[in-house]
Amino acid sequence: MSEENNEKRAYNADSIQALEGMEHVRMRPSMYIGDVGLRGLHHLVYEVVDNSIDEALAGHCDHIEVTITETNGIKVLDNGRGIPVDIHKKEGVSALQVVMTKIGAGGKFDKDSYKVSGGLHGVGVSCVNALSNHLKATVYRDGKIYQQEYERGKALYPVKEMGDTELGGTEITFQPDDTIFANTVYNYETLAARLRELSFLNAGVTLVLTDEREKNEDGTFKTDTFLSKEGLKEFVQLIDQNRERLTSETISFSGEKEGVPIDIAFQFNKSYNENMHSYVNNINTIEGGTHISGFRRALTATLKSYGDKENMFEKHKVEIAADDFREGLTGVLSVKVAEPQFEGQTKTKLGNSEVSTAVSRFVSEQLAFYLEENPKDAKVIIEKVILAAKARNAAKKAREMVQRKSVLSGSGLPGKLSDCSSKDPAKSELYLVEGDSAGGTAKQGRDREFQAILPLRGKILNVEKALEHKIYDNEEIKNMFTALGVTIGTEDDDKALNLNKLRYHKIIIMTDADVDGSHIRTLILTLYFRYMKELIENGYLYIATPPLYQVKKGAKHAYCWSESERESLIREFGGDNPSSVNVQRYKGLGEMNAEQLWDTTMNPENRTLKQVTIESAAEADRIFSMLMGDDVPPRRDFIEKNARYANVDL
């Protein structure tokens, strides 16, 4: 071996890169904020807002303003105490500079400053600073204004005094680094949903969102103010606004048990799903955890005890299971934990065992008292439980029939499925295609090695309004379950989705680019959100984006996915004579031939897939129930408000 090669392969102390905190954040941003897509971009805002919410939790702040600037920067202003600016003894610089430039620095690590704090990773505003082209921190404290600016996490000058003030608080303005984030355009609705959520979780705190990129007709900027007086009670009412409530009022309890502050609100409705949302220190624990376990245990035991005492179960010869006590339940549980331990795939599952006991005891006491004081509501709830038990038994039989049929029919795969050659789920894709015609085109155009096609006939059942056993009787839904290889029921939970034999790690909804196609896509999404949410949470569900137009002039042609692209291409192709230019509007997938469908929508080299995610399960729950429920006015309002984002064919 040559000496030169020896030097290249040497692995010694010189090979180890000792990166400073800020450099490591910039080199490995996904470790700190999850990803560098839109989710990570919005997470920067949440990290800054979390600092302000911590001030609110500590009782020092009740007003927070978030502004999207004209340049897609962000400004967050609160009326808290202001970040300390005096010299940090260990670091020898202002405490503000330490907080802004050192990972793991900040008051939330000092139990005397904050008993509990929000934020999942604890990296805070220093991480935001590292991932910003420019950040300016302005502190209003002790009658003075202080300021410091930074570029990519490095201070441009020492903290300086700027003048006098009667205000208190902190203002952070930052511009995300466009060399790290592929897309630096903030979505107003995404930020609004999070601030609305925070307002419910922190009753009495006003959160204002302003968009300086968009003006109203009167010249003012688009803005929304979120303030909740009743907290979680209002949150549950918003989530459940499109469902018919069974109880006379929303049940809510708030207090402290064994050192754990607990806030809970819930109600029963006429739907067939449990919609329980949980938070720890304002973090949405989408995988649940010990706090949810404690609540469920208390709910089951207390309702069962009441039903037994009143002899309500005796006359119904049906076996009652724990799930039956939660059918049609919508609720929000929020706990504050000094030192939360998070587990699970996304680190959003609470692991503290002591919280389970505290929540269980608290809910048992409060709910028992409520049932005794409200016998009419108690009776309605128990009657709902009995109906749920009967429906569950029917659904179980229907599920077993689907699963037994799969076993008896050999491979168990639907006849309509054109499977792929690959048996590796990580490499395999399943396209759910609207109609036999488009299905035929997709079969011809696909790569048979890794792409499977399942045509769906027409519009599948609206699961939002159907009894569970009816869902498993539906032919198209049965075909989906058997094609995917998933079953319902695990050792831990007989309603959970079993993914052990999942056959594809990309499930792609491919529907026509018209109103009917959008409706079918929404029906499929509703099915997955309600009955196969684990597939969404694991990142397996996608939406294909077929083009809306083909623009052609002579031998030249190109595809467009938006009106602005179409107009631009007409100008480019047509020059002074845009009328020789031919524009074809694709209303259906079947209007493309196999080669066009492959080139535009199925070829991994060219296609754009939208991954389906659940940023806020509570907001998704509300929107699905509104879009797919019986109440028309809220749906009409939603469509009118969002019409500019939709493709509407007249």
Active centre residues (catalytic): 434, 512, 514, 516
For residues 311 and 275, is the Cβ–Cβ distance under 8 A?
A: no
DSSP one-letter code for 205: -
572 CB neighbour count, 10 Å cutoff:
14
* Residues 629 and 242 sit within 8 Å (Cβ to Cβ): yes
Determine the Cα–Cα distance for residues 492 and 73; give it in Å rounded to an integer.
46
Burial 452-489 (b: 16+ CB within 10 A, else e): bbbbbeeebbbbbebebbbbbbbebbbbbbbbbbbbbe
- Which two structure tokens, joined as six digits, stand for 121? 């990773």
Choose among 40, 334, 78, 68: nearest CA to 197.
334
Helices (H) and strands (E) in the chain, counts: 20, 26
Q: What is the DSSP-derived secondary structure letter of residue 185?
A: P
Length of the chain: 650
Cα gap 566→553, rounded to integer Å: 13
Helix (H), strand (E), coil (C) string for 221-279:
EEEEEECCCCCHHHHHHHHCCCCCECCCCCEEEEEEECCEEEEEEEEEECCCCCEEEEE
Q: Copy the structure tokens of residue 92.
A: 């020898």
